[in-house]
Amino acid sequence: MRSGDWQRRLDVWTKTSELENLLPELTALRGVQQPEKFHTEGDVYIHTRLAVAAVDPAADERVFWAVLLHDIGKLTTTEFVNDQWRAHGHVEKSAELVPDVLNRLKLTSLIEDVTWLVKNHHFALDWGNTVFKKLTLRQRRFCALSLFPLLIEVCRADAAGSIGCSDKLERLEWVLSQL
């Protein structure tokens, strides 16, 4: 299946209330707050749905699943700290939850790749300001990994689902300009 097939199926699940039974990790994101500075679109659920809508329908299904599940860890990691919503550790927690979700949906062949994509969807942010300098040999090797093109699609969709002053896309494009 391609991403567009899953997007249509997700729409059906949403309209028929199957979503709650099939993906409770996703529906639980309704009402989970995010820093308004970076996410004026609303809660994590809204952000996720906008990001999924930004996925090219012809994209590999692993991109769809990685985008759909990239922030499911925010349910348990989000807290209000220093007058701002934070979700420290959400990337790791999200990646930890992927195998259970995909096993339940009998999509076991996708687990390894989707987990890796979710685990690395903040790579450009994690690299800090070094992305605006010359990439290191280690960073270049990371960019040469076979799943990297799919990761770029995941990161672009994540950025498209974020309405605010995030520099996710700028950092990503800078990395790509160095390759």
Domain range list for the chain: 3-177
Q: What are phi and psi of 2, to 5 degrees?
A: -105, 170
**Of the options 1.10.3210, 1.25.40, 1.10.3470, 1.10.357, the CATH number for the domain spanning 3-177:** 1.10.3210
* pLDDT attached to residue 164: 74
Per-position b or e across 152-175, b if 16+ CB within 10 A of its CB: bbbbbbbbbbbeeebebeebbbbb
Torsion angle defined by CA atoms of residues 10, 11, 12 and 16, in that order, rounded to the nearest 10 degrees: 100
Torsion region of 42: left, alpha or beta (phi above 0 gives left; psi -120 to 50 gives alpha): left
Question: pLDDT digits over 16-72, tens only?
Answer: 989 999 999 999 999 998 877 777 777 999 999 999 999 999 999 999 999 999 999
Question: pLDDT digits over 71-116, tens only?
Answer: 999 999 878 888 887 778 899 999 999 999 999 999 999 999 999 9
